[in-house]
Amino acid sequence: MRYLISLFAPRPLHRCFALLDRNGHCQAFKQCSLQPMGDGWVEIEEVRLNWLHKPLPASARVEQKQHRPRVRQLLTT
C-alpha cells in the first residue's frame, strides 16, 4: 500500500546549478531542490558536460523571478 501512495505523492523538484569561477568558467554541476551554499553557484536550465572548464553561455542561466511576500500584496491592495 505504501508503494501505491508513494507513486502519487509529490516528488521534490530538482533544479540544476553550475559552479562558476572568477572568470565565469564552469567548474562543477549539481542537481538539488535548494540552491547550494557558497559563492559562485548559478541556476541553469540543464546540465551539459561540454560546458565544463568553458565559459557558461548566457542563455543557459535561469531568469531569477522576484518574489514578493504575500503579506505585502495583501496590504497594498
Kind plus residue range of the DSSP H or E element containing 9: none
What is the C-alpha separation between 39 and 57, in angstroms, rounded? 19
Provide the H-helix boundaries in 1-61.
2-8
Question: Residue 63 — very low, low, confident or very high, per pLDDT cuts 50/70/90?
Answer: confident
Those residues whose C-beta lies under 8 Å from the C-beta of residue 53, and which sit 6 or more positions away, are: 25, 26, 27
Is the pTM value of this prediction over 0.85? no
Residue range 7-61, pLDDT digits in tens: 777 777 889 999 999 999 999 999 999 999 999 999 999 999 999 999 999 899 9
What is the C-alpha separation between 74 and 60, in angstroms, rounded? 35
Provide the H-helix boundaries in 1-77.
2-8, 70-76
Domain range summary for the chain, segments of one domain joined by +: 13-76
